[in-house]
Structure formats: structure tokens, C-alpha cells
Structure 1
Amino acid sequence: MQVTETLNEGLKRGYKMILSAQALDDKVNEKLKEAQPDVELKGFRKGKVPLPLLKKQFGQRVLGEAMQESVDDAMKVHFEEKGERPAFEPDVKMANQEWKEGDDVEIEMTYEALPDIPEVELGSLKLERMVTKADEASVDEALQNLAESAQDFKDRKKGSKAKDGDQVVIDFVGKVDGEAFEGGTAEDYPLTLGSGSFIPGFEEQLVGVKVDEEKAVTVNFPEEYQAAHLAGKEAVFDCTVKAVKEPVAAELNDELAQKYGAEDLDALKEQIRERLEQEYAGAARAILKRHVLDALDEKVSFDLPPTMVETEAKQIAHQIWHDENPDVQGHDHPEVEPTEEHTKLAERRVRLGLLLADLGQKAEVEVTDAEMTQAVMNQARQYPGQEREFFEFVQKNPQMRQQLRAPIFEDKVIDYVVELADVTDKEVSKDELEKAIEAMNDEE
């Protein structure tokens, strides 16, 4: 196939490809010969149908397939010879729209080539990694929060009124139309006011009650209530208040530790310390990752495929618009035009994306099946009760798999860069770490 370059500007490429009528005819004959041994026609034994007759019967059907294969083969050879890869699927169309059998086929192909990525001496990158230890004050604060979340209740002074957040111990009998209904009766029931565990409106009416007080609580069951015979109906609960208790934090002792699966209080403190330091390490890694990306961005400069930048800028502008207009759920809104700032950010993202992909490919970084499975499982937890459907959706959706794979691949490449870079650990306080995170977030 004859190939002539028509465009070469930056990363934009254009070619005119001519498939001669003779070459196309030869391709058709070749495909018919391949099929000939399996063809049966009336009057001929299997495999003995003459080629001219085959061409008359099936030539038109084979013609389009032969043309497509010829073009695909020519494109494959072209990219191998040029050593180029297209940033997107090449735009391929016939130039001679009035083509008829016997004419040469003229094809126009345009695309944007991926750039050559310059080598980066990763050992020359100087990075600082924050290290934060969990101090006693942080451990004690976390321990106190645990104690408050595992709160107990103690009796209020006799005659005290129940407040929101208190626990009242009650006997109650629920009635609809004057008749007690099944499941509407209980004794010594501990109810925390404000917990929302009872029918809407029930707990609020018990605020202000005292021990030994009797209170008739009138509520309406929701229209969508699970028990159909009660849905939408008014009910009266005759309540007897047997205790009013105020919340108190659980005592810091071995008993509390055992509630959280630790052997004793010291073991619980050590668990808290380890968890805090894992959180600090995660925050420090996010900062280190930003430093890696900043350092790489300063190291490299190369041409970027214009369409990739334009597409990324539009996505950034669109996302920011939705962040600023959270009430708009769909995409039925005026087109959002990217600003110069959006384009600049898009250029950084595209440049770093291409660089990380190149580094990962050269380092043979792979995302394992186990890592992908874990990513899918983590995502599936957002759809309780529909995990199976989500797994099936991911299996059938290559784009979704790529969305899950991309951040794993990126993190593994970042780890690879950090291994080769000159990294210095710097011990910082929790406050310094938090300020560094805030500063990083403010830059986004």
C-alpha cells in the first residue's frame, strides 16, 4: 500500500494511503482461496467450486472484509515502522467517497502521536518524608474518645427530668384503636432519647419525664412502615417511667479494653498508638506523593497531545462546576468552558500521567489479580446487598476495570520512584503534619 505523509505538526500526523485496485483484488482472491476447500455449491463437490464462480457468488461479501483487513495491516506496519503510538484511536476515512469496484481505494488517516518521554535520573530526586510518632497526649485523647463512645448511664438525682441524650427505662403498651397490638409491649426497656431508634416523634415526647411518671405517647406509624397492618395508623403508647439515667463516659480500665478486644488497658493503648501512627504514615505518604509528582514535573518537559489536554481540561472544568453547584445532579446544564487555569492543571496531569505510565512500563510494574480483586471488593462495599451485581458489572466493563486499576498502578510507580530517589526522613509533630496536609489541600 502506498503511504504519503500529509501532516506533521508537533504530535499531529496525517497520511494518505492508497490501496490499488489490483492489491485489493489479490486480497479478495486470497480470501476466496482460503475458503474454497470448505465451500459446497450445487453441481460441485465440496472444495471443487471454481474460483471464478466463487468470486461471482461471494466476491461482494468478501470485498469489504478484504478492504478492512488491508487497511488494518497497513496501519499496523505504519506504526511499527514509525515507532509511534497514537494517543487516541486514529481517525480513518475513505477519501474517494464515489469509489466503485475496480478503482483504487484512497484512505485518509489522522492521529495524534504519543510523545517520546525523556529519561529521568530518579536517583537525583531529593525528597523529604515526614515521620510522626504518636505522643502520650494523642493516645490519651483517642482513649478518652473511646470511653465516651462506650458510654454508660447512671441514675439521675430523684425527681430530675429526662434530657435529650439521657436513657429512660420504661414499660410500655402500644394500642391502635384502643386495642393492644402484637410487638407493641415491653418491660424495662432502655431507650436513649435522641437515638432515633423508635418511631419518629416518640422519643421527643419523653423529654422532661420523671421516675414513676406515666405518659401517653401518641405517634403515627410511617406510611411505608414494614408492618402493613400498622402503616399510616395512629398509635398510643402508655408508658411508665422506671428510671432516668444520665450518660457518663466508661471508666478507663481493663474492662473497657476488653470491650475493644484488647487484653488489658496497656494493650489497648498500644493498639491505639499503632493505629494513630498508621494514620500519620498515610498522611505523610500523601504529602510525599505530592512531592514526588512536583519533583518529576520540574524534571521533564515534552510535547503533549492537544486532544488529551483539551479532554482533561474539560473534565476538570466540569467537575469543578459540579463541586460549586452540588444541587445539580445531572448533566443537563450549559456547557462549561475550561479556563486557562484548568488547561494548565490539565497539562500537568497529562504530562505526569504519560511520564508515570512510561516509568511503570520500563520498570515492568504490574497490577496483580489479587490487587484488582481487593480494589473491586473495596468498591463493592459501597453497594450493600448488590455486591454480586457490582462484581458482574466490573467484569463486563473494561472502562470500569481501568478506573480501578489506574490508581493502584500509579501508587506502585510512586513507590518505585521513592525506592530509587534520595529520601530523607524528618520527624515532625502531629500539628506540623496536619498543617502540611492542610497546605497541600489548599493548593488543589
Structure 2
Amino acid sequence: HADFPGFEESEAPGPDRVEQHSARGEFCRPEVELLSLVRNVVIQGELVRQDSWGKDQIALEIKNNKRRIEEICISCGSLQVITQHPLFEGGLCDPCKDNFLESIFLYDQDGYQSYCTICCGGSKVLMCGNSGCKRCYCCECLDALVNPGAAKIAEAMDHWTCFMCRSARFFGLLRRKRKWQLKLKQFFDQESEHLRIYAPVPINRQNPIRVLSLFSNVTKDLQDIRILDRVPDSNQEMLTFFEDLDNITRQNIEQRGPFDFVIGACPQNPSVDHSSGRIIFQYCRILQYARPNEAEERPFFWMFMDPETLTENDINDASRFLECDPVIIHDISDSVRLWSNIPSLKSKFAANMYNPTWKKRGKNTTEKTYMKMVKQFLVPLKDYFKSYI
């Protein structure tokens, strides 16, 4: 692939000039056909624009006023910095910090980040061509932080690999942090009042996700949305399904586990023997059995789905037992209520993200089809487990 002119890899750039570094596509896989696709970002039905940002002043502040990049918000150019960006060297102002906390884990229906990885905004973004990455970067950030005209050069490339996927860490003023996985966790632990996350796992250390499915077998559904491989290792069962939980004990779960993801779906028509209240109790009981010990820091996720069949008392009980409030995901003809610890479902924007082109379904739809409605909210799992998305 052609190189970016002047983007040769070098030592860390000095504060008085904007260096340029390599943007080669050596990590692009040949089968990737994503090219350097450019799209307008539409969130909540509106085009996201931040034309008033002062990103173009970042390089001038560093060159002319001798400011350190840590003193400047790399998302908008503000000098009112209150914290540091978790992924790249540079500061964040208060509004941009809040925006990052709410938006970094949001993904569109196509599986790509909804917002720029750097600023969590942007009117036009470039999608990484590296299979499995799914990150986006806005043209404004590339031109302001990498080099003027960098976005146009990237657009013209056959395969553009993003700054989180390359071996080099320095790209003009954009400098990826060492151990960014840990720093991202520390950022949320310090700055977020409602969300705690696990440190993302480097790709070379990721394993396939081990799923415990309760009440409904979601193997095919998870394969369809590519959370599970269609051809799993024959020596290892990656999904365990229990429908009747009355006789399931802690020992049963420990023998079949450990599990990384526990998912349960409340049936649309609970039977007398399996009332909605009892289903909630059974799910919470098994969830406690499957949770890792507090001393373990391995990523562990869970989700309980309700196709809006629970009573108000049941909803309150579920929220109390699961220690979080639900999010309702709307569609044209359906909606589903979700309790989960997956980061994307903790965003205040989550309930407004849905697919308006979803085909209208009949009354007899089973709860398993709701997995397609929540596909985009499962994308963050790729940062922890081997992904087929």
C-alpha cells in the first residue's frame, strides 16, 4: 500500500512542531473490503456536527505558545482541561469528558463506533480497515492532530488502518498511550459515577466467549450476530443452555463453567409454573453462582431481557436484585427492556439508538428474535473476547 507522504515513524515529536508518522496498512488483512469509507454520523436522527470546535488551534497553541498537549483538550481545543484523555496523550475539558464517558461504547447497526475514538463526535468519520477493529476517526481530528490534509490522504488509501491498530504510537501530535487498556479502566473508575468497566484485553490474549444461556437457547442467535463462532472447537462447548433451573445447583454451574456471559430472556407468555417473578429470582440465583470471585479481575458480563411483559412490581424487583435500572430499546413495532452491565447499555443515549428500518413483526414473535435488536450493544464484548463481529 502507498504510504502517507511524510508520515515516517520516528521518535516522539517535540512540542514546537508537528511531526508526521507512518500510516502504512501493513496490519490490514487482504480480505477486508472496507477501503477508506467515509460516512456521515447520524445519531438520534440528527447529523452530528461540531463546526464551532477550535481543534485547528491545537497545533498553534503548542508551536506558538509553547503549551504542552496535556494542557489542551484534544477533543475540542479548549484550554479548560480537567482530566486526561485515556487513549491518547492530551487533556479533556469537562463537556468533552462527559461526552466521552457516554459515547465511547456506542456502536451503530453496522457494528462500527458511532463517534470518533478521539473526540466522540465528528461530522464525517473514517472507518478502520483492520478486521475486527470497528473504530472510527473524524476528519477534523486527523487534520488537526495528525497533519493538515491527513484526512484526504487517508480517504484515498485502499485500506486505512487506524491509530489503535498500528505498531507505531506517534502520529503527528496524536500519541497513543502505553497500556491504554488499563488507563481506560482507570479513567472510568475515576471519572464515571455510574459505570465501572473492565480493562480491555489485548487481542493476542483474547479467548472465545463462554456463554450461559437461561430459559431460551440463544446459540443460533449469537452465531447469527457473530458473537459465537459457527464452527466452535469440538473439544470445548462455548454455550451451555439450561431451560428448567429448579434443580440447578451451584455445583452444576461450577462444573460447567467458568462463564464469561450469562444471558436470560423472560418468556413472552410465562407459564403458571414459571411466573415472571420466579424467572427473575431464578436468573439472579444462577447469576450469583456464575459470578467470578471478587479476587478475580477477569471480564464478566450479564444481560436479562424482558419483552415488556413484566409487571411494575416485577420490574422493581428485577432492578433491586440486579442493582441497576433497565434500559428500553425501541423499534418500529417492538421494544425490549434490558438489565445489563455491558458498558454500551449504561449510556444515557442507549435507549435512543435503534434501527428504524426493522421489519414489522407479528404478535407471535419469540424472545430470541430480540437478540438482533440488541446486537449493537454487544459489540463492546469484542474488546474482551475473541470476536467474530
Q: Which has the larger radius of gyration?
A: 1
TM-score (norm 1): 0.18
Please state which structure has a larger fraction of its residues in strand: 1
